[in-house]
Amino acid sequence: MDRRSMLVALGVAAGGAWIEFARRASRDPFRLRPPGAASESDLLARCIRCGLCIRACPVDALRPVGLEAPHAVGSPYFTARSQPCTLCAGASDMACITACPTDALHPLARREEVAIGVAAIDESRCLPFRGVLCRACWRACPYSGKAITYDPRGRPRVMPSHCVGCGLCEYACLTDPPSIVVRAFEPPGDADAPPRPAPSSADRPTSATSDMTGTP
């Protein structure tokens, strides 16, 4: 291989590595997208980075993605521990979806259709698993009794098909770092991504025990 061919090959390899880095950086599982977003690829294809949804958010939760994720720069996200999504509780519509001039944020018939991500509990850190009474996540959850329930020993469980991923539980968690964390849904094929659950009458909790009670 001559010098020119070698430089071309190195350039192609470096370009491929950068594209892969950018792709992975753009899919940070803890970067939560607004209500109405479908898959990451769908959002990025439709979003024109106008910032209208960010300005419309009544609790100032949304931020534009920065240069750390080149493929996603300017697209909206929120961090649950800093400021969760309140689902515009008390309002007739969700402000970000109404403000979106494209279909990057798809209209939803009901708030229960929101699919931002799914919460998971770290049992090694969660206070009730250490014998300490705590109901912080349950009280914060807009669907407590469905998305978050308790077992007979007073330990919380997340029911994935009812969890909308708003992050209110993570924000309310009393431990630091939080014992309950929301991870964004990712496109099929990502081994580390939580699956987008289908509602089921035989819902399964995210941790071990299956004996459930709806309220503490």
Residue 64 tokens read as 């534009």
Q: Angle at the Cα of 35 (from 206 to 111), degrees rounded to 5? A: 75
Q: How many CA atoms lie within 13 A of 40 on its CB side?
A: 26
Let me know if residue 177 belongs to a domain: yes
Task: Assess if residue 147 is contained within a domain.
Answer: yes
| CATH code assigned at 132 | 3.30.70.20
Q: Residue 203 above 60 pLDDT?
A: no
Structural domains counted in the chain? 1
Tell me the pLDDT tens digit for each residue of 111-167. 999 999 999 999 999 999 999 999 999 999 999 899 999 999 999 999 999 999 999
Within a domain: 133? yes
Q: Name 213's bridge partners.
A: 150
Question: Cα–Cα distance between 215 and 201 in angstroms, integer?
Answer: 18
Closest of 50, 47, 74 to residue 63, by C-alpha: 74
Q: Is residue 25 situated within a structural domain?
A: no
Supply the pTM of this predicted model. 0.77
Q: Is 63 a residue whose pLDDT tops 90?
A: yes
Average pLDDT of the chain, as a whole number = 82
CA distance 75 to 63: 8
61: containing domain:
30-184
pLDDT score of 68 = 86
Beta strands in 152-215 (DSSP E): 156-158, 180-184
Judged by DSSP in three states, 107 sits in: coil
Residue 18 scores a pLDDT above 50: no
* Residue 6 pLDDT class (50, 70, 90 cuts): low
197: exposed, middle or buried (Cβ count in 10 Å: 0-12, 13-18, 19+): middle
